[in-house]
Amino acid sequence: MQSETTQIVILVGISTLIFLLMPVFLIFYIKISIKYRKNHLLEKAAMQQKFEAEILQTLVEVQDQTMQSIATELHDNVGQLLSLTTLTLNSVDLSNTEKTRKKIENSLSLVNNSIKELRELAKILHGEQLVENGLGNAIEQEINWLNKAGTYQLIINNQLLGLSVTSPNKDLIILRLLQEIINNIIKHAQATEIEIAASFSDNTLQLTVKENGIGFDYEQIKEKKTGMGLSSIFKRVDMIKGSLNIQSAPNKGTAISIEIPYP
């Protein structure tokens, strides 16, 4: 009997202790849960802020690259046209009516070409050829700049022209990725041929750039993700949750393929 009473007392004591500790554990759990949710929200806000900062930086870089292209175009093309116009007009001999007429006609043609070039540049300054008109048009503009250099044989397959779906933030980053890849080719590749392909299917956008330049040992830099301007490319592909595949070897050129969930 004494043993049963003792057991009952022990059970009552344990039950009472559990009953008293339950609110403590509950309060502790609630505090931990609130702290976790708060930290999660802060981390999410920080990630969003970082992403927005990266988008802003990308926008500035795209605009900077565009300004550089415009400056080059003004110097190499429009400047040359106006210089030729000045040279032609300065050589006019009013005593020779026929030659004067031809030189004035040539000058007018040069001036009209200059006006046409300036109008194209004005469109770019107003953003009409950037991502506002779709990624396909933005890529086409970059290809036009590259083509004007006359340095490379280009093979183009741009299937994004007229694409109905858009993703402004991703479009901006993809455009910057293409600009960086092209800049790397110009600076390092010593290529004579560049192939650019862009397509969209099954909610996936694919961008591929191949060139026949000197290449490099990709295995040596794959782990570090640095060298040849690749660090920024890796970072931007990660930002938009894409996948990046690079194939290169010395004297065998380089192929870069990017797949991105879209939009």
> Hunting for tokens 């993809």 — which residue is that?
174
Residue 212 scores a pLDDT above 90: yes
Helices (H) and strands (E) in the chain, counts: 7, 5
Q: At what angle do helices 168-184 and 2-73 cross, to 10 degrees?
A: 60
30 compared with 161, residue with greater pLDDT: 161
Is residue 117 located within the same domain as residue 145? no
Is residue 115 located within the same domain as residue 140? no
**pLDDT on residue 75:** 61
pLDDT (mean) for 226-251: 82
Residue 243 scores a pLDDT above 90: yes
Q: Distance between CA atoms of 177 and 92, rounded to whole angstroms?
A: 49
Is residue 92 located within the same domain as residue 181? no
Which residue, of 126, 152, 176, is where some domain finishes?
Answer: 126
Is residue 175 located within the same domain as residue 78? no
Please state the domain count of the chain: 2
Q: Answer whether 0.85 is exceeded by the pTM.
A: no
Is residue 237 located within the same domain as residue 150? yes
Is residue 168 located within the same domain as residue 74? no
21 compared with 27, residue with greater pLDDT: 27
**pLDDT on residue 206:** 95
Which residue, of 126, 143, 166, is where some domain finishes?
Answer: 126
Give the domain extent around 19: 1-126
